[in-house]
Amino acid sequence: MNKNLAALFIDLTSEKTQVKKIKPDFLKMFLGGSGIGWMLAAEYIKPETHPFSPENPIIISVGALVGTLCPGASKISAITKFPTLASADGKNFIGECTGGTRYFGLMLKMAGYSHLIIVGKASKPIYLKIYDDEIEFKDASGFWGKNYSTDYVANKLLEDEGEDSGVIVIGKAGEKKVFHALTFVDKMSTLGRGGLGAVMGSKNLKAIVVRGTKAIKIADSKKFIEEVHKVRSRIIKWPHFKQWITRGMGGSGWEIFRNTQYPGKWKKTKWDKLYGEKIKETFDRVQACISCIISCKNTWTIRNGKFAGDKGFSPATAKVATSGQLLDVEDYRKMLHLYKVANDEGIDFYTTTRLIDFVTTLYHQGKLTEHDTQGMKLSRSYDCYLDLLYKIVNREKFGDVLADGWFGLYNKTNIDPQEYWYGGICKGVDFIYDARPSHFHPLMMTFFTRPRPHHGGSHTLTNVPGKSIEEIKEQVIKWGLDETTVNKIFTPTPYSGKFNVGIYTKYMEDMMRVKNALGICSIYTFMGLIFGEDMANLYSAATGLEMSASDLLKCGERIFNLSKLLNVREGFTREDDKPPEIWFKPMISPEGKIVLKDYFGSKIFQKEDIERILDDYYKERGWDVKRGIPTREKLVKLGLTKIINVEDFL
Amino acid sequence: MPKKILLIEPLKCKGCLRCELICSFVKGTIFNITISRIRLLRFTENEIYYPTTCEQCFTPPCKDACPVEAIKIDAETGAITVDEELCIGCQQCFFACPLGRVSRVPHSKIPIICDLCGGNPPCVEECEYDAIKFVNFDKANNEVRKSRIKNISKLLELIM
């Protein structure tokens, strides 16, 4: 395992490459994968770097257990300074995005690298080809600026470079540096909410293709395979197992989605009929990431109507249904088509559809004028939505304003993003769930406490509605927390209800960093299929470093602190970790008013309650509660002062 | 003649690569899919995966093609094996296989062919999606016929 620990440094400007060995000693501190990725970020991301400047690196990390038989170990992550405007004055967060892969993670490791560091800017559009020790900067002008879908480009590259290659591509939105452009990995995953696609675009980098032939070695192979089979035999006894492997999450998860992602515009029964039932008809086949035995993804096809034949990947249910209701589009096929176009063009479907919902409604209400929209007449119609999407991708007219995201809109029109009615916004990113119908639990909190406001894998059992306190507690115990901490989390308080979300979130964020460093999918952990001890055993056997579940959590905490530290240097404080304003106003739905409550729905949260929960969160982190940033003492305790000069960051 | 053979139903394959990973692990105690005896053919446009491996022919063309008799039939399992000591790396077996099921490995002269792991192939158990079965040879006749018709017709429909 340690032999695969090396970073490939690529400078697109000079076309020079260098292999940098990473000392195995750092594994004890940062585990590997994105943990080491953050260590590299501290070295390579310089203060006040513009996200689109050639100096801004893209650091891609492969999880420590990816490429082995560990179930669910498939994730890669990318760290960069994201272009999304996190505030009106133009702050940018340094974040980590993570996603499952089929070939990319495996092949990068087989090529001999655990990490990729890409800096510079190519003089013309190129794609990177990595084949073991050979690195080529290949001409991509045939793909650039053309009307080719991300899927088409990926297929072409796979045809040319080998079908078992890993591939990351950007679409036209990335080329045009739309702030919420994504990347597409192995034709099955998206990576990079917040604008990874735009950072690639700014570097003239259309795609990365990777293939390798080298072995991934395990320190104690006998123990490792025993652990794998122990975990696997438990997972296949999971009651939902059969359903998932035949229908994927898209086919199985409607009951969860309808309760957690409800925007409250239609009656739930209408929504069930128009989307919940109908989307099932589009299901084609389940798709698994590498090593996955529960396979949540699927491919789909529109069977009839004007858009018959449109195809796509990933469980579309939640995204398409939620945006469909927000935009009041009753035909699910129209929304699936919009989703396909977003994927073809390489743009974030969530952010784009919400921005469109926002501006078309404001225009309808007269709060946005034709002057603001640069002569564009907006309407609450599907044709207008589709037109706006293309305009954003191409940065044409008003689309150019929306391509700069929520604060881009604010800077041009003075419309406060906090006025948007669904989900909530923090640091310039719209949340994928709204805490009012979902209830307030650790995932909701981590949306605004972590540097990049997307979940990043911080799911817990509380994502699923209706679990008992005993079930929730059982999962927390299995993550390797000591008794005192568990008791602290589950001591009821007047401001947080039956458990203390603030303290709970701290540990779940640390666990998220562990999962991302190891490359283990969060679905396994939040469904209670893999626990702290399993991860520790697998990691120890793979690397030869004896680690317990609590050791892993300590590393997770160290990684989290380092990621925060980089953002403190960019000027982020508690002021930025704000719960969205909209959560404190009732959601008016056909089912009645929905207000912000605790997980069990027994306590209504006021702003003061959330502030107190936040106090507890920072206190548990051992940070400066007032400023919401790490203290020097904490950083010394975590050993971070040994690898960086913390004074440069605080 | 093998007592049991591997029967693959490609439509059940979800592309998780666990069969390739376990094969390399059993054969080399490493994870490296390029040395796997079972390989997934990927039809990228529709993301269809077709796991392929040696079909254990009665009169294997690879065996006939080998000039040094390095390819043998295992007395116990009836599976095709490659004697790495004898192999001269001429690659004739690779070209002789009409189904393209002999693999060449980067950085190695030895071709790789599935040897059914002494009659207990772990790829079968590793596949959570039941795409790989290990069936008795006498039972295989009808199973093969049925699955071929089902799979090929559906695959053609999907790929063409």
Write the pLDDT tens digit of every residue in B118-139: 999 999 999 999 999 999 887 7
Of A214, A291, A313, the CB nearest to B17: A291
Its ipTM equals 0.94
Q: Is the pLDDT confidence value at A248 over 90?
A: no
Contacts with A107 from chain B: Cβ below 8 Å: none
Distances (CA, A) of B32 to A115, A212, A599, B27: 18, 9, 45, 10
Looking at residue A266, the DSSP 8-state letter turns out to be S
Is residue B148 very low, low, confident or very high in pLDDT (cuts 50, 70, 90)? Answer: confident
Q: Is the pLDDT confidence value at A282 over 80?
A: yes
Contacts with A290 from chain B: Cβ below 8 Å: 16-17
Q: Of the given ranges (A14-18, A214-218, A241-245, B18-22), which has the lowest mean pLDDT?
A: A241-245
Query: Which is more confident, A49 or A313?
Result: A49
Residues A605, A598 contacting (CB under 8 angstroms): yes
Q: Is the pLDDT confidence value at A3 over 70?
A: no
Strands A297-301 and A311-313, by their bridges, are: antiparallel
Q: Cα–Cα distance between A456 and A188 in angstroms, integer?
A: 17
- With a pLDDT cut of 70, the percent of chain A lying above it is 99
3-class DSSP state of A483: helix
Q: Is the pLDDT confidence value at A98 over 80?
A: yes
Q: Is the pLDDT confidence value at B143 over 90?
A: no
B15 and A102: CB-CB below 8 Å?
Answer: yes
Residues A167, A103 contacting (CB under 8 angstroms): yes
At residue A305's C-alpha, the angle toward residues A302 and A306, to 5°, is 100
Q: Of the given ranges (A175-179, A304-308, B15-19, B145-149), which has the lowest mean pLDDT?
A: B145-149
B29 and A289: CB-CB below 8 Å?
Answer: no
Q: Cα–Cα distance between A404 and A54 in angstroms, integer?
A: 19
Only one residue has tokens 């007449």, namely A377
At residue A558's C-alpha, the angle toward residues A94 and A117, to 5°, is 45
Q: Cα–Cα distance between A74 and A609 in angstroms, integer?
A: 38
Among A313, A638, A428, A487, smallest CA distance to B46 is for: A313
Q: How far B141 CA lies from chain A's nearest CA (Å)? A: 27
> Which pLDDT tens digit goes with each residue over B55-98?
888 889 999 999 999 999 998 888 999 999 999 999 999 999 99
Q: How far B134 CA lies from chain A's nearest CA (Å)? A: 20
A69 and B126: CB-CB below 8 Å?
Answer: yes
Strands A205-211 and A283-287, by their bridges, are: unpaired
Of B17, B18, B32, the CB nearest to A216: B32
pLDDT at A315: 67
Is the Cβ of A292 closer than 8 Å to some Cβ of chain B? yes
Backbone angles phi, psi at A130, to 5 degrees: -115, 120
DSSP tally for chain A: helices H, then strands E: 26, 21
Q: What mean pLDDT comes out for the span A464-476?
A: 92
Q: Choosing among B128, B130, B132, B158, which should be mutated to test the A contact, i.e. which has the most A CBs within 10 A? A: B128
Is the Cβ of B32 closer than 8 Å to some Cβ of chain A? yes
Is residue A2 very low, low, confident or very high in pLDDT (cuts 50, 70, 90)? Answer: low
Is the Cβ of A458 closer than 8 Å to some Cβ of chain B? no
Only one residue has tokens 């209701």, namely A325
Token pair of A467, please?
Answer: 């679990």
Is residue A555 very low, low, confident or very high in pLDDT (cuts 50, 70, 90)? Answer: very high
Is residue A313 very low, low, confident or very high in pLDDT (cuts 50, 70, 90)? Answer: confident
Q: How far B59 CA lies from chain A's nearest CA (Å)? A: 31
Q: Count Cβ atoms within 10 A of the Cβ of residue A117 and give its class: 0-12 exposed, 13-18 middle, 19 or more buried.
A: buried
Q: Cα–Cα distance between A275 and A282 in angstroms, integer?
A: 11
Token pair of A71, please?
Answer: 């179930």
pLDDT at A322: 95
Is residue A137 very low, low, confident or very high in pLDDT (cuts 50, 70, 90)? Answer: very high
> Which pLDDT tens digit goes with each residue over A396-427?
999 999 999 999 999 999 999 999 999 999 99
Global confidence as pTM: 0.96
Is the Cβ of B134 closer than 8 Å to some Cβ of chain A? no
Q: Cα–Cα distance between A319 and A40 in angstroms, integer?
A: 33
Is the Cβ of B107 closer than 8 Å to some Cβ of chain A? yes
Q: What is the mean pLDDT of chain A?
A: 95
Q: Cα–Cα distance between A161 and A368 in angstroms, integer?
A: 49
pLDDT at A80: 98
Q: What mean pLDDT comes out for the span A69-93?
A: 96
B42 and A293: CB-CB below 8 Å?
Answer: no
Q: What mean pLDDT comes out for the span A547-564?
A: 97
Interface of A with B in 110-169 (CB under 8 A): 110, 154-155, 158-159, 163-164
pLDDT at A426: 96
Contacts with A312 from chain B: Cβ below 8 Å: none
At residue A54's C-alpha, the angle toward residues A50 and A58, to 5°, is 85
Q: What mean pLDDT comes out for the span A505-512?
A: 95
